[in-house]
Structure 1
């Protein structure tokens, strides 16, 4: 019984039509090369068994993976989830608790407050967790389909030659998990504070010993809302850079330039926002001037200038460290290296 033609057919029928003829010829030739000059049915069975399941072999010929996230990225995918989800849960809890504290009227029992915090935290955490898992999965799925698979065809065994394109990373250039976690926390906290600025930065008054009432917000909500699309783009860029760092695992000159561009854009956006004449709510300024009995125009200018200078200093340090780490390891022939998972 001729088993070769059915085997070739079972492989090629699972491929796009434009690939079928070429793959059929290639596979037929490969099988013939693996057989002796006068093969028996036993020899044919042995070769086909070595090639494996036609469906699996077809996937290796196809450029489209049949899985959402393959084994090469699955461990990194799980590690990212383990890193991101706890941070998001902490941010959600802090946000809900802060909102409950600021809205506390003194008329609600402690049990009701605790129950309210638990319910709101559960729903908010579930929503944030689902969205985080969704977007991280989308990013990894895109990476899975945009990178070339390194899997050896026909089940060939691993050899040391595959290490030639995977050199060990110098320890001084290595990007640690703490660095990635710090970037995620900074981005998450920044977005949380920005979206809750009207509640976190406000003037509260207490009349006749009653609960605190918000008299005025420090920042003009319309101005913050107008800058939100740009802040969101910048936050997305920050997350993209963090994920890029995760795959790269080390500082390079290219990464340092990307980091520089991000910091420059951040400084420009902050400068535009902080210098906006209507950023501070006039009602809040009036409230403070009345309470302190002094002109605060100089104080607001000092706050603007201090914020920009602080951002420039910290961004400059971050840019310098990026290039400094990227250059480390190039100056020495012998470097201390650390095994990368």
Structure 2
């Protein structure tokens, strides 16, 4: 009986020690009665007292879990009430903030004239730091909300049910690509023939006239390939790995081609730069900054196009 009494007392003590003093006596009495009844039932089935008690206490489980049930205390970091809101917010921030941090640090380092290794290292460290901070602080906020029982104010309704958008999205992308192609071609001819800036005389093109005819033709071919890709995706009703690969190649070719021309001074019309900037007192340092910003945009937009294509492919491959 000594072993039996000791095991029971140890179990009850482990259960009630984290409870408030006001409820400890009641919980002790309840557990003593329920454990004794369960042991008696097993003794009637022919088990020995020692085996019966061990079986009963084992069935009750971890006393910490039992105590949490009495105290109505959660044993999870974030429960189902807040989990989906936490997960959706976390994914949204992890898509947006690290990308903005990386881009902002790279742009700042480029403007500062930092070497390539320092630019990459600083941007990677800052990006990883932003990921850690987002994960920690967002989770901490929701842990506090969970413990405090605070309502987040986010309510689900049937109005939030998404519409099937795969076909519509493909059609919209195809139409947008064709319209963008036509607008791009029109803008290039407008720039060459009429100009976008008043000069008081003959129009000054923004794009370097030396791009005509072969450079501009190559530019139009890339535009047409993007539009054709959008039509193919719409015809297949989904993004495929092949489409994503083609989209990546087109974006990479455009970025490499445009950056090469920019660095060679063959993308923007020198006469336009002189008319708008140099003749108005803009310094060489400011021109360097404008060149860096232009190059950054010529790289950032193709990267986003590549990422967007692979995201759509991943979504289309989900069962």
The bucket for the TM-score relative to the shorter chain is 0.3 to 0.5
Q: Give the helix-richer structure, 1 or 2.
A: 2
Q: Taking CA–CA contacts closer than 8 Å with sequence separation of 6 or more, which of the two structures ends up with the larger relative contact order?
A: 1
TM-score, normalised to structure 2's length? 0.42
Q: Which has the higher strand share?
A: 1
Larger-gyration structure (1/2): 2
Q: Return the TM-score normalized by structure 1.
A: 0.39
